[in-house]
Amino acid sequence: MDVTRVSPGVVKVTGARMSVLDRLIIPQVVAGMLVTIRHLVKNLFNLEKLPTISYPEVKRVYSERFRGRHILTAREDGTTRCVACYMCSTACPAECITIEAGEDERTREKFPVRYDIDLLRCVFCGYCVDACPEDAIYMTRDYEMAIDTRARSVVGLRDLVVPPNFPVAPMGWRPYYGAMEKKGTAGGTGLGQPLRSAPFEDDAPPNPDLFRGNE
Amino acid sequence: MSTLTKYSAVPYTGPAPTNREPYVPTDAAAIDARGAELAAALSVEQETGQDLPTLLVPRENIVAVLTALKSAGYTMPLDLFAVDYPRREQRFDVVYQLYSLAKNERVRLKVRVGEDEPLPTGTGVFKGLNWYEREIFDMFGIVVDGHPNLRRILCHEAFQGHALRKDYDPAQRWLLTEKDVAKIIPKIDPRFENVDTDFERVTLNLGPSHPATHGTLRIVVTLDGETIIGCDQEIGYLHRCFEKSCETHTYQQAIPFTDRLNYCSAFINNVGYCMAVEKLLGIEVPKRAQHIRLILSEFMRIADHLVCIGTNLVDMGALTNFWYLFQPREEIYGLIEACCGARLLPSYCRIGGLAVDAPPDFLEKSQRLVDWLPKFINDVEKLVDKNQIFLDRVVGIAPITPELAIEYGFTGPCLRACGVPYDVRKASPYLGYETYDFDVPIADGGDTFARYLVRMEEMRQSLKILQQAIDRGMPEGAVIVDNPYVALPPKSKVYNEMESLIYHFKLIMHGIQPPVGEAYFQVEGGNGELGFYVVSDGTKNPYRVRCRPPCFQIYSAFPDMIIGQTIPDAIAALGSLNIIAGELDH
């Protein structure tokens, strides 16, 4: 295409000038084929760097900010951090969080008797994480949430609460403290070679910045 | 936010919320003076204190006023919608927004209409008002007198009630089936009515689920042999009540909904909506947030054009280009994900700034991407630009004249393909676009080929903007305003200061409460001018949010473009218009 300036800030784009040879179709088809063949040869000798991923054998690694399935973090003693303050369910634009509060008779502290997230309603915006004043709800990089019935889309405390010192590696969107920023986020752009690796390292040490109890 | 990790006990001393005080636009005096001038010229009343020159027009005079304004240069009908005030005697405000290309000026007309009062149609003056009038009929039940085809547009034919009226209960559920709908038989174009050919006339249904429609659109065409002689469209299959949902949620909660309008360039929708609310609040976003917003918007624009051109070429059988264009798109989404946390629907903007700071390697990654992208665009250019087979499919196909395009309210690449250099980034710059050196590409003919050319050049111009933005480096500072009535305080403060904890709870429970008033803000979306009109009554929920989706008007002109052409040409034209159903059905 040809670009000519018509006035300051405006350019006019016109189709490429066609020579007699171009009008014969075949030379341009050959020129196009050369582009395709160049890509083919380049990919053929560089198979391990193909831009496609052989999912599910190989998985894509998302960044530390990825908004995947939620978890509820736990204190050192194993109880959930959540104090059933309803902030997450208030902030939720999809109204997918249902909480029922109870009171611990010994400590007189509120805790959730029921905490359900309807993953089919959830829009994965991360507002619950931003709203939580207790660092109780985080999002992970887990994006595999296929289910076969609607009833199974509702996940409760049993599915959400993770043990204390849960590994940091699979964590996604969570409140930002600056400690993580130094490292930069993973994921993003390897230019045609997406980060595919390697299942998450399950025995990675927990990041002390994530848990206030460790301060 | 990284600068605020340390404990600081300095309480917030900035401006308090301006709840329930009227909204005052920044240059109110100049706007009101211009409004008074226009009002005097047209001998109508004026409404002061608006962000655009606003005229109050009596219902009977609206066609005369529209005609007068059209001859005065306001040739482009940008928007038409209604706002419901049920306690008022004449409960509806019907709002027209017109734009003058020559003067680069907007004007707003307001018509008060009661429940049983018909509104005279403006389709005789502006063809682009056709679908908008159907929309206000559908959503508010305002009967438009003299409209050529007054039936529901977004809702199902058998739907009861009018969804955007304030007294409509959004919790109602309807079960609507195909049986309740009258069959669509397109009107035959007068040019072909009495033409006698040897062929039988056939009515053909395309969509709503068809690989060539790129979304759930339905087109019914009448064919004479292979020639299209009549066309009618049905939309609304992806209708998800964006405008009604906003009314029942807080300002902040509406941001994820805006993602789902034009899902090919979702971040631009975020920016447009947030800037409309920020205009109402009278706040300016920190420089760093503006810079990140600009970079991501331009990347999103490139991604939008890549999808459009890639799928358009697939419609014509050129699958290779699709792979070459989707590879850079994939990488753009990789960058978006590393910054925003999600690929397609980032929900990264917040009112007053951004959710979190961009990652430290953001500019570095952007630079790598900007260097890497052009080779794919060049490859596609090599494949198709001089390819006679491609040219035969696109040159002169589905043309539209500049006059007709303006009358329909075209914006964006489709308008520029007609040779009209209108770009919101130049006409009313935002996010500092005025400081960047870039050109608005135009082309001649307004056909499918011109639209392809404009989009290709626009991607290069976006890359030019991105290179300049990266060279300037990231401004220092926070990415969200330091105003606890608008933005959540950083977590480090929430855990350490009582005030911040209270602000945090208050903001989530009570939301942002902008001053009473209305504001319109427009950005250049992937398809054209994307506008958001926000009406606030001072409470935490918007009273009304209006989205001006660019492809709504572009698609309404589709029959005019394809009558007399063939089905394969119509498919190629549809792809080049880049109709995104999510935005179309807002």
Token pair for residue B243?
A: 């405008």
Residue of A4, A20, A28, A132 to mutate when probing chain B, most B C-beta within 10 A: A28
In terms of domains, do A25 and A106 share one? no
- Contact yes or no for B442 and A10 at CB 8 A: yes
- Report the distance separating Cα B507 and Cα B56, nearest Å: 36
* H helix intervals, B224-318: 242-247, 255-259, 266-281, 287-315
- Contact yes or no for A67 and B341 at CB 8 A: yes
Contacts of A97 in chain B (CB under 8 A): none
Quick check: A102 contacting B, CB < 8 Å?
no
**What backbone phi and psi angles, to 5 degrees, belong to B339?**
-100, -40
Report if residue B22 sits inside a domain. no
Chain B: residue whose CA lies nearest to A11: B441
Helix (H) or strand (E) holding B534, with range, is strand B529-536
- Contact yes or no for B388 and A15 at CB 8 A: no
- Contact yes or no for B337 and A93 at CB 8 A: no
Chain A: residue whose CA lies nearest to B391: A15
Residue from the list A130, A182, A185 with its beta carbon closest to the beta carbon of B338: A185
| Residue B150 confidence (pLDDT) above 90 | no
Domain count, chain A: 2
Q: How confident is the model at residue B293 (pLDDT cuts 50, 70, 90)?
A: very high
Neighbours of A87 (CB within 10 A): 24
Encode pLDDT of B58-70 as tens digits: 988 899 999 999 9
Report if residue A47 sits inside a domain. no
pLDDT for position B472: 92
| Residue A205 confidence (pLDDT) above 70 | no
- Contact yes or no for B256 and A67 at CB 8 A: no
Name the residue with higher pLDDT: B70 or A169. Answer: B70
Tokens 């007294």 correspond to what residue? B167
Q: How confident is the model at residue A109 (pLDDT cuts 50, 70, 90)?
A: confident
In terms of domains, do A69 and A22 share one? no
Residue from the list A51, A172, A212 with its beta carbon closest to the beta carbon of B341: A172
> Omega of the bond prior to B11 within 30 degrees of 0, cis?
no
CATH assignment of the domain containing A106: 3.30.70.3270
pLDDT for position B11: 53
The DSSP string of B459-522 is HHHHHHHHHHHHHH-PPPS-SB-S-TTTSPPPHHHHTT-HHHHHHHHHHHHH---PPBEEEEEE
ipTM of the complex: 0.84
Residue numbers of the domain that contains B206: 179-234
- Cα angle B425, B429, B432 (rounded to 5 degrees) comes to 105
| Residue B459 confidence (pLDDT) above 90 | yes
- Contact yes or no for A87 and B421 at CB 8 A: no
Name the residue with higher pLDDT: B586 or A97. Answer: A97
Residue B455's contacts (CB-CB under 8 Å, 6 or more residues apart) are: B305, B308, B309, B413
Name the residue with higher pLDDT: B200 or B251. Answer: B251
Alpha-carbon distance B3 to nearest alpha carbon in chain A (angstroms) = 8
Report if residue A6 sits inside a domain. yes
Residue of A4, A6, A7, A11 to mutate when probing chain B, most B C-beta within 10 A: A11
- Report the distance separating Cα B320 and Cα B140, nearest Å: 47
| Residue A206 confidence (pLDDT) above 50 | no
- Report the distance separating Cα A160 and Cα A132, nearest Å: 15
Contacts of B5 in chain A (CB under 8 A): 177-178
Neighbours of B11 (CB within 10 A): 10
Name the residue with higher pLDDT: B465 or B88. Answer: B465
| Residue A159 confidence (pLDDT) above 90 | no
Name the residue with higher pLDDT: A108 or B131. Answer: B131
Report if residue A49 sits inside a domain. no
Q: B105-113 and B54-57: which strand pairing?
A: parallel
Please state which of the ranges A168-172, B40-44, B119-123, B146-150 shows the lowest mean pLDDT: A168-172
- Contact yes or no for A189 and B335 at CB 8 A: yes
Please state which of the ranges A180-184, B207-211, B500-504 shows the lowest mean pLDDT: A180-184
Strand order in B201-206's β-sheet? Answer: B201-206, B218-224, B227-234
Alpha-carbon distance B544 to nearest alpha carbon in chain A (angstroms) = 17
C-alpha distances in Å from residue B434, one per residue of A161, B155, B438 = 50, 41, 9
Alpha-carbon distance B440 to nearest alpha carbon in chain A (angstroms) = 5
pLDDT for position B582: 84
Chain B: residue whose CA lies nearest to A124: B342
- Contact yes or no for A11 and B449 at CB 8 A: no
Q: How confident is the model at residue A183 (pLDDT cuts 50, 70, 90)?
A: very low
Q: Hey, which residues does B142 pair with through a beta bridge?
A: none
Residue numbers of the domain that contains A150: 56-215
Report if residue A48 sits inside a domain. no
What number is the average pLDDT over the span B362-374? 89
Contacts of A196 in chain B (CB under 8 A): none
pLDDT for position A212: 30
Chain A: residue whose CA lies nearest to B457: A13
Q: How confident is the model at residue B291 (pLDDT cuts 50, 70, 90)?
A: very high
- Report the distance separating Cα B168 and Cα B159, nearest Å: 12
Encode pLDDT of A42-68 as tens digits: 888 887 777 787 777 777 778 888 888
In terms of domains, do A119 and A192 share one? yes
- Are B97 and B39 a contacting pair, CB within 8 Å? no
Residue of A189, A210, A214, A215 to mutate when probing chain B, most B C-beta within 10 A: A189
pLDDT for position A213: 29
pLDDT for position B8: 41
Single-letter amino acid code for the residue at B557: A
Quick check: A5 contacting B, CB < 8 Å?
yes
pLDDT for position A4: 84
State the pTM of this model.
Answer: 0.90
- Report the distance separating Cα A12 and Cα B385, nearest Å: 16
- Contact yes or no for A63 and B337 at CB 8 A: yes
Single-letter amino acid code for the residue at B269: N
pLDDT for position A204: 37
Contacts of B337 in chain A (CB under 8 A): 62-63, 65-66, 187-188
Q: How confident is the model at residue B19 (pLDDT cuts 50, 70, 90)?
A: low
Q: Hey, which residues does B106 pair with through a beta bridge?
A: B99
pLDDT for position A114: 92
CA B470 to chain centre: 27
Report if residue B89 sits inside a domain. no
Quick check: A65 contacting B, CB < 8 Å?
yes
Tokens 């030379």 correspond to what residue? A27
C-alpha distances in Å from residue B483, one per residue of B12, B237, B250, B500, B534 = 8, 41, 17, 11, 21
- Are B213 and B219 a contacting pair, CB within 8 Å? yes
pLDDT for position B6: 38
pLDDT for position B5: 37
Contacts of B488 in chain A (CB under 8 A): 130-131
Tell me which residues of chain A, numbers 34 to 53, contact chain B at a CB-CB cutoff of 8 Å: 35-36, 39, 51
The dihedral over CA atoms of B126, B130, B136, B142, expressed in degrees to the nearest 10, equals 90
Encode pLDDT of B464-488 as tens digits: 999 999 999 999 888 888 888 888 8
What is the rounded average pLDDT for all residues in chain B? 87
| Residue A184 confidence (pLDDT) above 80 | no
Report if residue B199 sits inside a domain. yes
What number is the average pLDDT over the span B395-424? 90
- Contact yes or no for B372 and A192 at CB 8 A: yes
Chain B: residue whose CA lies nearest to A135: B491
Residue of B248, B349, B357, B386 to mutate when probing chain A, most A C-beta within 10 A: B386
Percent of chain B exceeding pLDDT 90 equals 32
Please state which of the ranges A4-8, A165-169, B567-571 shows the lowest mean pLDDT: A165-169
| Residue B12 confidence (pLDDT) above 60 | no
Domain count, chain B: 1
Report if residue B230 sits inside a domain. yes
- Contact yes or no for A12 and B441 at CB 8 A: yes
In terms of domains, do A71 and A160 share one? yes
